[in-house]
Structure 1
């Protein structure tokens, strides 16, 4: 009897192992390019109101991942974030790993608390609870559950239905009292398998979203970020009853603004007469108010170091201007407040302004939520223009917004109860770019060039940021890569920089180069391609890899002018035809010309868009194919025979 029982157990375990392998194989066939999947990804949120504690927001998270290959070990390290307004509790984590006879469970028992690190933030009070899952391999699963307490009701909340692994099934459940008014917006739902149901019990409403078969987010450089792609529910608590009182939270945009204004009220209204004397000295040579604003902005840009500090209430409340002035550093809120107070000290009106970077696709006019923005600037208005003053980028010219906030809606404060929504413009392609003009001479098969390369706008700014932090060999290597052209036998012979840190002027690189083994010579005939840089040669979108819309940093131009000085006795036997294509938001042209003693080409590309949708990738790829055909054309030169 015992032998029979053991045989049955062994058989059941074998069947269980076969079943597990079958599940892995099935999921692998469904997701061939994924290391694993979320079998479940659930969030359950409870909003409750207590007489003494007020509104309590508790979220419970549960996730089950199954891994489909041996890359599973790369997912062993995990963390849960918490901080100033967020507490966590009841963390349970374990892995289940296939065994020879039966699966093995490994409970996570060691947890480490570390400071949260971000390359863009010098210091914040965020913490990570870090831990490791043991034994992850093909066929293994990890399980994680924990609860989260949100202590700031205004920051509730967003729930994304997507991740770095595909999700087989997930549930988002929100339960709240009937006297609480909860607004929400469903964003990016189109094309996804999501169902919604609303139920109720005696005291509460229950909203539930069930989502299935959500693909993984695939990071691609210069593609739109996750908030543009994945479905998300954005919540705003409008109001709730606390005893006999109605507590307003964010009922609408007016409510959001009133709460925002409380965070700047003290800093904005603090008196600091010491700034006036200093500012008067800065602007003493300025004749117009706009010139004075420029001088103040430039001073903050040049003298206040941008250091992102998000600690406690300092994550949302700017520090007083006098303190920032004394310390000579601050975050975006601090720098905006300092510009505002400096201008105010000499009776120039300006306004503190909230804005989201282009990583966030949301608008104040559509969704009144703190999730809309992650940045603060200062605004100055004239009769016909608004200047968006963002000193966090030390190389952006006065009058231009920083590249990261172009096209975004800005919330401009106008006192305790008044505000404006203004759209920040995008700078045209003519504002930023590169113009490389070279005089060339042919020496056998190699080219010698003397060039002036001019960089403007955001293009110049990005180069200046790099040069500001590099010296010696690193700097020379960077310049060489910046002007490199032709083939891998390009040699930068010498270079000289002009206007290196003068942000209001073009950055000039004067350089000389040698390009070996470039020309092709057969008897007295020389074949030479004057399109040396071929900027868009590899510009096609790989639609299998680039599955999201393209998100450019800024519009720009790229101009290459190459003029070849002809030796005595050399003539042009074939001059390639000109090439050109033009769309509403991008274009290219290649124009050849020949005169006595020289031949030249002007190659110009203009990119005048920021977002470029996947629906236009085929159109773009056809244009790149056309320009590559034009790039391939070569001059035919002939030397006089002796």
Structure 2
């Protein structure tokens, strides 16, 4: 049940690479052909220039070892407009490999691009068993604000990982040790009199390769790492303030948005056109929000690295695409032009373990718009293309949000929703027609269930839409025929999405003589969601809370009677509920299935119970209703 929208999958891909910048691919835990014998990273805070008074110089030394057979490593080192790669020296079999030249280019993922993200990439060969290749890297971060976190785990098994910081006494840095519980981390702190600096060294040994698993929590929840919070510097040239408090963080954000350069004269005519048919304030706000959702393409994700200034609203409008910042800014400016109290809001999605108690750029990775109307603050995330007004995606629910308020700010929380927000109802009224079942089916989708379906639908060419919908509803089964399909508007996601159609299930009934048999559930959702506990390394995270209800009313003909009815099942856990029931009432069989994901986070400790319950559900699906001819 991979229900991540395409945009979210790409965001996840980029976020993993940003957190673990050394390797594009992670190693299978059983694959030890290539390992890292040692990786040493040293970060030194140094004085800079007028524009960048403090810089961070990183020196990294990484040695790969070939343990079995010839191979190669694709190395990718990232940088942006706030950092530079100053030198890469590559060695194969202890000899400098001048013939290997790193390629420096923009980083791209399909048609999603990152305007401030570059990559230096090369292939490091390991020629045979027992050989080693390594490279030395020098990278400079020109503003210490942008050095936010350093992780221990890499894409390959490591014999040794060492992370060191050289912090001169004039530099005030808070190095937070995150997720150290359960890991053996050796730490030393020494004073270097010559440089008047404190040297912090963290060492770990025998580190397995990180697990890049789908439906997983963000790395900041899972892996040991060091969160680097640069507070301020006090060199001889004078004090330089960074993020000594969350107030400083907001002041920096606010200084950036003050220099955007929006052009209200371009925006207001469009806002008036969008809302010309709306009569109430709420209808006008909805119209603006929905217009941005439908007409501006979301093209980029930036996971707290660089580029915190939103694009000009008129530029996003002209290009018809933007990242989260650009879309939030355009939404704000459209609403402001109509006289509404709209604000920019900074937020960290549930991919991030931190909150605004930490003054760091790693706290948030997303921007949305807030609008205050009649004392209530509504949040508008236009990157969620098909979610309705005043409904919020799981990835931001319950999260702290920093709301601009002129020179000040305030912290709110996005409202939490239950599984009721994201419901999917299916009601079938069927009759027996020979060996077939025939009748009428109705569907209703809400919240993120609607968004997931509309995301799939709007990715299909219009002329193929009907065929695609029918294939989706029949799950591609040739024995299921769908006709007379009617839907509510596919462009109105403020209301529930509904569908109604005639359905025929061919050869649904099997039999021998006077005994007939029927499996009434043709969808069997979640029956294959067994978790391989021998391979899964991390907790599982469902994309959103969900409530799925299927009801079937089967009219019995006079010549048949029920001889055996499945018993059904019911389980209720902290994270989910499963229930299936059958009932004979008058001359009808009533079938009801309810599957609820109440909490998206399923910890590893719950995997065994989950597998048992999924197995029970799958077994229940296979039960048949038995009929006897009178």
Mark yes or no: TM-score above 0.5: yes
* Distance (whole Å) between structure 1 residues aligned to residue 95 and residue 268 of structure 2: 71
Give the aligned length: 597
Residue of structure 2 in register with 1:122 after alignment: 113
Aligned CA distance change for structure 1 residues 104 and 245 (closer, same or farther; 3 Å): closer
1:78 aligns to 2:68 (yes or no): no
Residues 120 and 308 in structure 1, CA contact (< 8 A), matched pair in contact too: no
- Within the candidate set 524, 548, 560, 2:538 is matched to 548
CA-CA distance at 1:493 after TM superposition: 4.3
Question: What's the CA shift for 1:115?
Answer: 1.9
Give the aligned partner of residue 56 of structure 2: 57
SS at match of 2:108: coil
Alignment-derived partner of residue 289 in structure 1: 281
C-alpha change, 1:496 and 1:108, in structure 2 (3 Å) is: farther
Q: Which deviates the most, 240-249 or 548-557?
A: 240-249
Q: Which structure dedicates a bigger proportion of its chain to helix?
A: 1
Are 1:175 and 2:166 matched, yes or no?
yes
Cα displacement string for residues 171-200 of structure 1 (whole angstroms, at most 9, x for unaligned residues) = 101002111111121111111111111111
Deviations along 1:6-26, whole A, 9 cap, x unmatched?
A: xxxxxxxxxxxxxxxxxxxxx
8 Å Cα contact 1:42-1:63 kept in structure 2: yes
Say which is worse superposed, 56-65 or 425-434, in terms of deviation. 425-434
- Does 391-400 or 128-137 show the bigger shift? 128-137
- Partner Cα distance (1:108, 1:214) in 2: 32
Aligned mate of 1:621, from 585, 592, 611:
611
- Alpha-carbon separation, structure 2, partners of 1:585 and 1:125: 40
CA contact (8 A) 1:94 1:108 kept: no
Q: Which residue of 1 aligns with 2:291?
A: 299
Which SS does the other structure have where 1:470 is aligned?
coil
Instruction: Return 5+ residue gaps in structure 2 as ranges.
Output: 1-27
| Residue 496 in structure 1 maps to residue 492 in structure 2 | no
Q: Which position in structure 2 is the counterpart of 1:346?
A: 338
Q: Which residue of 1 aligns with 2:35?
A: 37
Deviation at 1:381, TM superposition (A): 3.1
Structure 1: runs of 5 or more not aligned: 1-29, 97-102
> Where does 1:346-495 land on structure 2 (aligned, <5 Å)?
346-365=338-357, 367-382=358-373, 385-416=376-407, 418-443=408-433, 445-448=435-438, 450-471=440-461, 478-479=468-469, 482-484=472-474, 490-494=479-483
Partner Cα distance (2:531, 2:301) in 1: 38
Residues 484-536 of structure 1 deviation map (CA, whole Å, 9 limit, x = unaligned)? 46x96644444625122321233334445554554331210112222332223
Matches within 5 A, 1:219-368: 219-267=212-260, 272-273=264-265, 275-283=267-275, 286=278, 288-308=280-300, 315-365=307-357, 367-368=358-359
Q: Is the 8 A contact 2:394 2:545 kept in 1?
A: no
In the other structure, the counterpart of 1:520 is: 510
Q: Which has the higher contact order (CA 8 A, sep 6+)?
A: 2
Runs of 4+ aligned structure 1 residues displaced above 6 Å come to none
Matches within 5 A, 1:125-164: 125-164=116-155
Q: Deviations over 1:224-249 (max 9, x none)?
A: 23332111101111111243521111
TM-score of the aligned structures, taking structure 1 as reference length = 0.85
CA contact (8 A) 2:575 2:601 kept: no
CA distance in 2, matches of 1:468, 1:339: 22
Instruction: Compute the RMSD of aligned alpha carbons.
Output: 2.9
CA change 1:104–1:325 in 2 (3 A) is: closer
Judged with a 3 Å threshold, the aligned counterparts in structure 2 of structure 1 residues 166 and 109 are, in CA distance, closer, same or farther, namely closer
Task: Give CA deviations for 1:236-290 in whole Å, capped at 9, x if unaligned.
Answer: 111112435211111111111111111111238x562454454345445555433
**Counterpart Cα distance in 2 of 1:284 and 1:136:** 69
For the 8 Å contact 1:95–1:142, the answer to whether it is kept is yes
Looking at structure 1, the residues matched to 479 and 159 of structure 2 have their Cα atoms a distance apart, in angstroms, of: 52
CA distance in 2 between partners of 1:51 and 1:443 (Å): 83
Distance in 1 between residues matched to 2:306 and 2:609, nearest whole Å: 48
Give the Cα separation in 2 of the matches to 1:113 and 1:31. Answer: 30
